[in-house]
Structure 1
Amino acid sequence: MRKVSLLSVHFFIFLTISDLLYSLEYMKIDEIKPGMKGYGLSVFKGWEPEKFEVEIIDIIRNTRPKASYILARLKGQNLEQSGVIAGMSGSPVYIDGKIVGAVAYTWSFSKEPICGITPVENMLEEKKYADLSFKKEPFEEKNLKKIATPVMLDGYSGFAKNYLEDFFAKKNSSLSSIILPSSKIDSSSLQTSNTTLKPGDAVAINLVEGDLNVQGIGTVTYVDGDDVFIFGHPMDEVGKISLPISKAYIYTVIPSSYLSFKIGASSSPSGTTVYDGQNAVYCKLKKEAEMIPFEIKISEGSFVNTYKLRIANSPTYFPYLATASTIASILNQTGYLDDKRINLKFYVDFSDREKNYIITNELTYSYFPAYYNFFSLSSDLNSFFSLFFNNSLKDLFIKNVKIEIKLQPETFYYTVENFGVDKKSYKPGEVIRCKVTLKALKGEYFNKVFEFKIPKDIEKGQYVLFCGSQPYFYYELKRSFPAYYRINNIDDLVYWGSFKTDFSKLVIGLVSTQTGLIIKDKKLSDFPEIYEDFFSSYMEKSQIPVFPRIIKSEFDMDAAIFNSSRILLTIGEIKSSQKE
């Protein structure tokens, strides 16, 4: 008992000393009065922060539970003309030598440089939330706006740039307003002996780094050892997140009547974000961020280029950033509207912390006009990568992604224009003569005749005969038999993720049904009918899944095939009661 008591006393003394030190270092919101004057720090050009003047206007209290904001007017560093600047988020404000908080909020089209300051005591609270498993409810005030965080892009243009702009805008992120071209600076070019982050420094959060770069730039508010607090508002309020942070260089400030902004570039990482909260982004120095290695190898004839990247390991960011980076690599080598065929092979190495898995597959895009290639590719890649983060199976962890892209000049494909058969009624075992009318892109119509044999053991009834490319065929199957094609376990994910379909294969197929059974995550096809009544007593009839029995023939073509067609057939005699 004595040991426990001594430990409690020591802990109490430690907390008391810590609180005393903090109270000497920062000014609590209750101590702040209208008319008080102080200064702030921010980088307006180069590496080093410069002072600007701050005058307290008032306190906006209870903007949300247990939180208030300090209203202030800024002066100096041309702020009277530029207004509050995007990239100033996190700029520390001091009164009487004590830190008050961070410049964090403003109003669009304001005629004066008036800002909202997040109290530092609220910012420091975000550290404790980093160890909790729950996420706080997001706060949004319709009039008071987070100062935008300028997003600097290196290597993204056209469709890839627009894709990222739309992504950030839909999220209502602090990253949403200003997207600018920039680069990354080698740390060896730093014209300063101190690369450690300090209050007032420009700081970059790196979402993508390597041969392509995406970074959001703000300001450091407070540093306590290896603990760093930046922005004074959330980036996206996603909670726990690990992204590289680095000291940033500011080229200049661009004045704007809407919202002035800084142009800058990141340098080598010096730490990582830990928690993106309501009042700040909490970071840790000397700690490496968890990023996903992502390699893109792109070739056109004898020309080959390779991009090596590290992308944010985040369900919020990775699917979009990986997709945009893939498209950017293509556009860095070919025009947006250039007629082309895109062949994309991907390799994904991932695990569930117990076992490693690999998914490989191949996709082909050959649309006209050519910009449809990018719409289709972006949808496919985003949906695929999202599966790893947003599924109900297990927590999955992508370890590595490799993509190989081959570009071929000119676009060429066929479209299915018509599909016919020699008659409408057949017997089991008969051969169906199918005539397919195709049209080549910018070419002539032509007919092809294919033979399709009906199995002798097929059940009598009415069937739909399908004609189209292999991907179209399986798309229709997945839509018609959702229970069978649903991903129920990791093995299903690997199987269907690696299941290759080829647009250059013409499929003529007949689909019949069979009774199946799904027990937990296992599918049982060809389920014996004698047991159906036993299991149906435990399930509603509508819950007993119907599985496909696929009868098809495939024919190789020399280009992709688009469109599809269907014909209703009768196989065997159908009784009048069936027709009704």
Structure 2
Amino acid sequence: MSGENAMRTFVFAGMSGSPVYIDGKIVGAISYSFPFAKEPICGITPIEQMISLFEKGPAKKAAAEARTVSVDDLRADRWSVGRLASIAVDQPLISGMSANSALAQVAGQRLQRIATPLTFAGVSQSTPDLFTPELTRAGIMPVAALGGGSKLGTIKKADAATLVGGTSVVVQLARGDISIGAAGTVTLRDGDKIYAFGHPFFSLGSTDLPMNESHVVDVVPNANNSFKLAVPDAMVGSLTQDRATGIFGKLGQTPRMIPVKIKVTNSRGSDQEIKFESAVDDFPTPLIINIGVQNTIQANERGIGETTIEVQGEIRVRGEEA
């Protein structure tokens, strides 16, 4: 890449999916970079690979068989990004070579996917810090956002200007009193089809996550890794596929959400209640709810020393008695 802005920020987190054109024709998406490079050099995912992968049609996740679980199975500390062994973030550019190879001088260099900034709002900084090491290994860059949570609302009807190529897009995992969203860039809009990122988000496969418009507050230059600070706007559709060459979504499709209410009675006898909606997926949902619980407790009780906490949970299923 070249230009004044490119030299100011280099390849930055959140630009994944930025479309690349040659003679006015789209050829792919900016999606990979060399860490600690002294020049803004990026890798491109070909647009044909992004489109062809999703033309095969969405595969619905099969429902898991009912089984008995123990309290130990539900422990928050069992959650780990390591569950997704298929995420290949640090694959070497050169996996093997002969001793006299002309490529030997670049041995050890790794072409990595550009980090995805995961923005937290309405959450204390200490809460996402608990998960930062594992999120970072999965190519996710936790970012403390400005302001509080995001409003709940219905889906916005798309128009000709909605999520066109080059605009910012946010995959929102939580909204309400707390907001959690992953920011990237739209590569291509084809009717109601949205192609973005150029690499996986969490490599979830078939999924159903809120897809939002967003506006960029700023691109923050950073010696380690510059990043885009984006704020989610209206929900306009659903992310339905998260695979090797990018993410795919449909405009006008409303994703499922889980309403969550957390109530804390602190040691002084006062109550606090937060409400938010969580995205529905086997992998991120436990993380989101864990963050909500951790944040509510830390906001109401001391953060150091020993503390006794009594926890009571209730899951309500629509159409069933509590």
TM-score bracket, normalised by the shorter chain, equals 0.7 to 0.9
Is the aligned partner of 1:181 residue 2:145? yes
Answer whether contact 2:220 2:227 (CA < 8 A) is retained.
yes
Residue in structure 1 matching 2:175, options 209, 215, 238: 209
Is the CA contact (8 Å cut-off) linking 2:240 and 2:250 kept in structure 1?
yes
Residue in structure 1 matched with residue 229 of structure 2 by the alignment: 263
For 2:312, the equivalent position in structure 1 comes to 345
Q: For residue 233 of structure 1, what is the aligned residue in structure 2?
A: 199
User: In the alignment, what sits opposite 1:85?
Assistant: 12
Q: Give the structure 2 partner of residue 168 of structure 1.
A: 135
> Which stretches in structure 1 are left out of the alignment for 5+ residues?
1-73, 359-580
Which has a greater percent of helix?
A: 1
The residue type paired with residue 50 of structure 2 is: M
Matched, 1:308 2:271: no
Instruction: For 1:323 and 1:187, locate their aligned partners in 2 and report how far apart those are by CA, in whole Å.
Output: 20
The code of the aligned residue for 1:93 comes to V
> Equivalent residue for 1:114?
41
Q: How far 1:116 sits from its partner (Å)?
A: 0.5
Q: What's the counterpart of residue 409 of structure 1?
A: none
- Over residues 239-280 of structure 1, what are the superposed CA-to-partner deviations in whole Å (9 max), with x where a residue is unaligned? 011111111121111212222111121112111100001101
Letter in 1 for 2:44: I
- CA deviations on 1:376-399 (whole Å, 9 max, x unpaired) are xxxxxxxxxxxxxxxxxxxxxxxx
Kindly tell me the number of residue pairs found equivalent between the two proteins. Answer: 274
Measure the CA separation in 2 of the matches of 1:357 and 1:128.
42
Mapped partners of 1:185, 1:328: distance in 2: 16
Tell me which residue corresponds to 1:252.
218
- Taking the aligned partners of 2:55 and 2:160, their CA distance within structure 1 comes to 29
State the secondary structure of the residue aligned to 1:287: coil
More strand by share: 1
- Decide whether aligned partners of structure 1 residues 157 and 102 sit closer, same or farther in structure 2, where only a CA change above 3 A counts: same
Q: In the alignment, what sits opposite 2:59?
A: 132
Counterpart contact for 2:150–2:179, Cα < 8 Å: no
User: How far apart, CA to CA, are the structure 2 residues paired with 1:124 and 1:148?
Assistant: 22
Verify the 8 A CA contact 2:197 2:247 in the aligned structure 1: yes
Structure 2 unmatched runs, 5+: 63-85, 93-109, 154-158
1:321 aligned to 288, 306, 310, which one? Answer: 288
Distance in 2, Cα, partners of 1:338 & 1:156: 21
Cα distance in 2 for partners of 1:272, 1:212 equals: 20
Larger Rg: 1
Counterpart mapping for 1:340-489 below 5 A: 340-350=307-317, 356=320, 358=322
Q: Quick check: 1:299–1:305 contact (8 Å CA) kept in 2?
A: yes
Residue-by-residue CA offset, 1:274-328 (whole Å, 9 max, x unaligned): 0001101001111111221111122334533221111121111111221111010
- Change in Cα spacing, 1:112 to 1:187, as seen in structure 2 (3 Å) is farther
Deviation string, structure 1 residues 437-476 (Cα, Å, up to 9, x no partner): xxxxxxxxxxxxxxxxxxxxxxxxxxxxxxxxxxxxxxxx
Assess if the C-alpha contact under 8 Å between 1:152 and 1:182 holds in 2: no
How far did residue 350 of structure 1 move? Answer: 4.1
Q: Secondary structure at the match of 1:125?
A: helix
- State the distance in 1 between where 2:152 and 2:25 align: 31
Contact 2:135–2:142, Cα closer than 8 Å, also in 1: no
Instruction: Report deviation, 1:128.
Output: 3.1
Share of identical aligned residues, percent?
Answer: 29
The separation in 2 between residues aligned to 1:133 and 1:209, in whole angstroms, is 25
Q: Give the letter aligned to residue 193 of structure 2.
A: D
1:156-200 deviation per Cα after TM superposition (whole angstroms, max 9, x unaligned): 22542222324423xx3232x343333556699xxxx97621111
Instruction: Report the Cα distance in structure 1 between the residues aligned to 2:151 and 2:167, rounded to whole angstroms.
Output: 17
1:150 aligns with 2:77: no
Normalising by structure 2, what TM-score? 0.77
Asked if structure 2 preserves the Cα contact closer than 8 Å seen for 1:220 and 1:230, the reply is yes
AA matched with 1:248: S
Instruction: For 1:269 and 1:338, locate their aligned partners in 2 and report how far apart those are by CA, in whole Å.
Output: 41
1:196 has 2:162 as partner: yes
Partner amino acid, structure 1, of 2:27 = V
Is the CA contact (8 Å cut-off) linking 1:200 and 1:219 kept in structure 2? yes
Query: How far 1:105 moved relative to its partner?
Result: 0.3
CA shift, 1:336, in A, is 0.9
Whether 1:76 aligns to 2:3 is yes
Q: Which amino acid aligns with 1:85?
A: F
Is the 8 Å Cα contact of residues 187 and 267 (structure 1) preserved in structure 2?
Answer: no
Q: Matched residue of 2:135: which SS? A: helix
State the one-letter code of the partner of 2:138. S
